[in-house]
Amino acid sequence: MKQDVTISFERFNHWNELSKNDQELVERANAVSKTAYAPYSKFHVGASLRLSNDEIVTGSNQENIAYPSGLCAERVALFYTGANFPDEQIETLCVVAEGDLLPVDKILSPCGACRQVMLETEVRQKKSYRIILVSQNGVTIVFNSAVDLLPLAFGITD
């Protein structure tokens, strides 16, 4: 029997069309991407997330010559949040990237490991959260859940 998987997202021509709160997350993610340690890929990724208490947590990618010992920006922010704000829920996560690995008009898509952590974070907090992905030229897509990024995810019920 054939079954289809459908994902949904909203597309914006530029992140300045987002709400002020979401624009702040894009600005914070762009700012923290400058702190990335990316001597090998030269690809700087920044993540910012807003918690239910309105706190904003940021993270940038941290590479290591002993690949794959580095960590993506998304996981830096998510793991920091889990360790330091275990009782707060994530409302929105934003990811931006800058570098030659991706054409400026293409949206950075989180790696599989980050997608799995995003999904596990939703399971952990028993609530989905929005995910904003921004291209280098400003085109933006917004997902309402990590499930849309990883529809056939490995999970507790598998």
**How confident is the model over 1-56, as pLDDT tens digits?**
998 888 999 999 999 999 999 999 999 999 999 999 999 999 999 999 999 999 99
Side-chain half-sphere CA neighbours of 129 within 13 A: 27
pTM comes to 0.95
* 88 given a catalytic annotation: no
Please say whether the beta carbons of 44 and 58 come within 8 A: no
Kindly state the average pLDDT of the residues 102-130.
94
Strand ranges across the sheet with 90-98: 10-12, 140-143, 130-134, 90-98, 44-51, 56-60
* pLDDT over 90, % of the chain: 88
Q: Which of 74, 88, 91, 122 is catalytic?
A: 74
Count the neighbouring beta carbons within 10 Å of the beta carbon of residue 149.
20
- What's 105's DSSP letter? T
Q: Which CATH superfamily is domain 10-148 in?
A: Cytidine Deaminase, domain 2 (3.40.140.10)
Chain segment 46-83, per-residue pLDDT in tens? 999 999 999 999 999 999 999 888 999 999 999 999 99
Distances in Å between the alpha carbon of 106 and those of 48, 64, 84, 128, 129?
20, 26, 33, 25, 23
Residue 155: its pLDDT value, please? 72
Residue-averaged pLDDT of the chain? 94
Q: Domain map of the chain by residue range?
A: 10-148
Confidence of residue 156 (pLDDT cuts 50, 70, 90): low
Distances in Å between the alpha carbon of 114 and those of 6, 15, 41, 79?
20, 22, 18, 11
Kindly state the average pLDDT of the residues 139-147.
97
Chain segment 94-106, per-residue pLDDT in tens? 999 999 988 999 9
Please say whether the beta carbons of 48 and 28 come within 8 A: yes
